Structure 1
């Protein structure tokens, strides 16, 4: 029988057969939740675990070893009452819910579900509510660990990601990419252009890397193709992989890279999880204390924080790498 986490002082817990995990996005936040995903699976080894997430993460989530089913959150509203009713029925079909998104939307989902006692989240009203008054001042990873602890899951170890690395199609060997090479991540969410270090400086950094015998490799989505071309304009030896890599490919490349340098964006969180030495660039729009990439060992991840990215010099970034 499934062993159900419960708080000290409670009686024997009821068995948990159906578990819902809610994590809607973005990529960096989703990656921060790998450890909680794994811990929830370990706490409920016999339960059926369903993940509710958004369309950009369906493929990644379905490749994870922690879920029996992945369901897309279509975000229905009052204009689509039939879909809203279907969501209500869906949310009421679980013995335990772990809301790792803890947003205004999922607070509404808690009410839509009938405020069940077995809901672990940020909204008061359930027996498993995360009642830490400083939760909004905690790093995402620490906050989620504390949330699970208060729901009875004491151990949240670093996630095992061999399953992800095994899915990589593009590898250093398949690309003929010799060591050492460094990853450059010049893009960011389209809604946050202020988070981007000026493109010319990425090109200048690529030139410094190449002069020191380190092949620059630019990664990102197809939308970052112009950024990679801008880097190549200053450093023709830079390898452009934008639009060609899967998440697994980026993880596999990061696992063997000399280092990764990039803005506050999802691939940097992924690189950190592989053990890659990372330098992440933050501007005043972000708070590293709440959302910086987390490495596996002390000193693996460094952060440079400036109020305005235009003020961050190439010399300072290069000095932080050596």
Structure 2
């Protein structure tokens, strides 16, 4: 299909999944070097996708609900406005699969019923996201998927006035999944350990993480908070310069790991690292209940193995 003129890639959410699609994005771009490639995504990822070298245009899917008839009709009109030569559905959800028929059954890689290039592995849901997408592309005629490379990301992080040696800490996470959060007071002890080694702890997160970040700042005044101040590209560039990172299983840790920063990522029973853990210089620590994870284990992971501080 390298002669295709119009290609659509679908990847709607979430941040970790979007980052793990960066390799497939690059691979699709290489496989269709002269095509006009459109990405269908959601609003949070537009700026990151626009800066990447993989897409010629970005379409926003607001994911309208069944009763939002006007929005549904606008989306339907948009999807049918172009006759795509190939569609790569990397979301592979019921929603994204439904677009196959809305668009008139174009050449399609995904799991939509009767699509031309199905990912026909009944165990696909038991595969890590990266291997699953790579196998999907093999079945669509693309033999080898590139690894993620975020070296293209640009951001002016000088405004944060950070010292030469700093480490990144992501103590928060999705507020509706508290089981994925390690206790803030333990992050504070890790931050103090970094500070004692001459590495300034830099805290990342949104306003949803304010309680956790404030707890760390109170216990470790040497830490610096960038809560609510960083874009996705800021995080990537910060990761390029960081000595290391530690955080919960949350989207920013995927960006940090994909940028090549040594990272310790903490998992609970709420998610399975065999299916979704960040790849790279990463040490994964998992406890069914993160309250059972001791500080010493995290500090040890930061001091040895792939996640050891630079």
1:200 is aligned to 185
Q: Could you tell me whether the CA contact under 8 Å between 2:150 and 2:236 is conserved in 1?
A: no
State the TM-score, normalized to the length of structure 1: 0.89
Task: Establish whether residue 134 from structure 1 lines up as the match of residue 129 from structure 2.
Answer: no
Structure 1 segments, 4+ long, off by >6 Å, are none
Where structure 2 has 5 or more consecutive residues not aligned to the other structure, the ranges are 304-310
Q: Could you tell me whether the CA contact under 8 Å between 2:175 and 2:208 is conserved in 1?
A: no
Q: Could you tell me whether the CA contact under 8 Å between 1:50 and 1:68 is conserved in 2?
A: yes
1:169 is aligned to 156
3-state secondary structure, aligned to 1:177: coil
Corresponding pairs, count: 301
Where structure 1 has 5 or more consecutive residues not aligned to the other structure, the ranges are 6-14
1:108 is aligned to 98
1:307 is aligned to 288
Task: Establish whether residue 97 from structure 1 lines up as the match of residue 97 from structure 2.
Answer: no
Q: Distance in 1 between matches of 2:292 and 2:71?
A: 48
Per-residue CA deviation, residues 115-152 of structure 1 (Å, 9 max, x unaligned), is 33x11002341221110122111110111111111101
2:61 is aligned to 73
Task: Establish whether residue 214 from structure 1 lines up as the match of residue 199 from structure 2.
Answer: yes
Per-residue CA deviation, residues 212-258 of structure 1 (Å, 9 max, x unaligned), is 22211111123323322211111110011111112111111111211
State the TM-score, normalized to the length of structure 2: 0.92
Task: Establish whether residue 35 from structure 1 lines up as the match of residue 20 from structure 2.
Answer: no
3-state secondary structure, aligned to 1:163: coil
2:141 is aligned to 152
2:302 is aligned to 321
Q: Could you tell me whether the CA contact under 8 Å between 1:123 and 1:130 is conserved in 2?
A: no
**Residue from 250, 262, 265 that aligns with 2:247:** 262
Deviation at 1:82, TM superposition (A): 4.3
Per-residue CA deviation, residues 100-127 of structure 1 (Å, 9 max, x unaligned), is 00112112222322333x1100234122
Q: Distance in 2 between matches of 1:114 and 1:101?
A: 19
Deviation at 1:77, TM superposition (A): 4.1
Deviation at 1:176, TM superposition (A): 4.0
Q: Distance in 2 between matches of 1:87 and 1:234?
A: 49
Q: Pick closer, same or farther for the CA change 1:230–1:89 going to 2, 3 Å.
A: same
Q: CA RMSD in A?
A: 1.6
